[in-house]
């Protein structure tokens, strides 16, 4: 039977994986954001590495980086990131996952990916996506379906992308991510009910995790603003 696990924050999935001792998982990650902050993936070589372990915020384990840590410690070895057309790296400037073809990845590639982990990886839009593969875990961030700026019509269309497909994943994890999703909680609960009916299961709801304190300093704040400005400028001219 397919299990359905529901949480408020996505980092709770990482905690669950570690508690269970899961290894080499195949994951289909449906999300507006990559949740791979601080990671460089060389898709041609099939390996990944951290790029900024010296920056506390970039490297720390939280909902924005749990997949980075899961890949690097061998918990996840196959990953597909699926998002709407309005979503993905073009809308997630600050410390989004880097690819081997990115100009900004060149310094890290030149120094060599010495501490790397194997990963099979792909990024797709909903239009390109055919649903979860057999053996994949479906990992959904609610903002990948109900981003804060979406209207209800668009949200329901994306809900149907999941609920009307014929598939049976190894398991389903759904995180609400309240800081990024649409404020209508009723839609979230409706989606949970739809998943329960589709797979004939009862959702298991995890206890909310403690919120990590912000990493604040004058230099970090200055670095973040400069990094975001440079990233936006690069995206404007077609660079990643």
pLDDT of residue 202: 96
- Cα–Cα distances in Å, from 19 out to 16, 77, 80, 171? 5, 18, 23, 16
More confident site: 208 or 23: 23
Strand intervals (E) in 177-232: 204-205
Report, as an integer, the average pLDDT of 20-48: 95
pLDDT of residue 231: 52
Nearest in space to 45 (alpha carbons), one of 113, 124, 95: 113
pLDDT of residue 65: 93
pLDDT of residue 57: 67
DSSP class of residue 147? Answer: B
Cα(200)–Cα(27) distance, integer angstroms? 21
The CA R_g of the chain, rounded to the nearest whole Å, is: 18
Give residue-wise pLDDT tens across range 134-178. 999 999 999 999 999 999 999 999 999 999 999 989 999 999 999
| Every domain of the chain and the residues it spans | 3-236
pLDDT of residue 60: 83
Report, as an integer, the average pLDDT of 64-77: 96
Of 9-18, 31-40, 101-110, 184-193, the one with minimum mean pLDDT is 101-110
**Parallel, antiparallel, or unpaired: how do β-strands 47-50 and 39-42 relate?**
antiparallel
């Amino acid at each position: 039977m397919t299990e359905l696990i529901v949480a408020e924050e996505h980092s709770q999935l990482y905690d669950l994986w570690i508690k269970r001792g899961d290894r080499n998982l195949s994951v289909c990650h449906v999300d507006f954001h990559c949740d791979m902050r601080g990671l460089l993936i060389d898709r041609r070589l099939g390996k990944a590495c951290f790029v900024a372990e010296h920056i506390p915020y970039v490297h720390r384990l939280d909902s924005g980086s749990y997949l980075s840590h899961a890949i690097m410690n061998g918990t996840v070895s196959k990953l597909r990131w699926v998002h709407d057309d309005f979503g993905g790296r073009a809308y997630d400037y600050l410390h989004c996952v880097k690819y081997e073809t990115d100009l900004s990845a060149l310094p890290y590639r030149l120094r060599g990916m010495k501490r790397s982990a194997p990963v099979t990886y792909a990024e797709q839009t909903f239009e390109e996506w055919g649903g979860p593969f057999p053996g994949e875990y479906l990992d959904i961030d609610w903002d990948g379906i109900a981003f804060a700026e979406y209207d209800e019509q668009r949200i329901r269309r994306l809900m149907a992308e999941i609920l009307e497909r014929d598939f049976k994943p190894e398991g389903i994890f759904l995180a609400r991510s309240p800081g990024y999703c649409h404020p209508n909680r009723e839609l979230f609960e409706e989606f949970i009910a739809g998943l329960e009916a589709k797979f004939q299961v009862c959702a298991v709801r995890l206890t909310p995790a403690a919120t990590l304190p912000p990493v604040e300093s004058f230099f970090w704040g200055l670095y973040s603003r400069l990094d975001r400005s440079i990233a936006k400028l690069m995206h404007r001219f077609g660079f990643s």
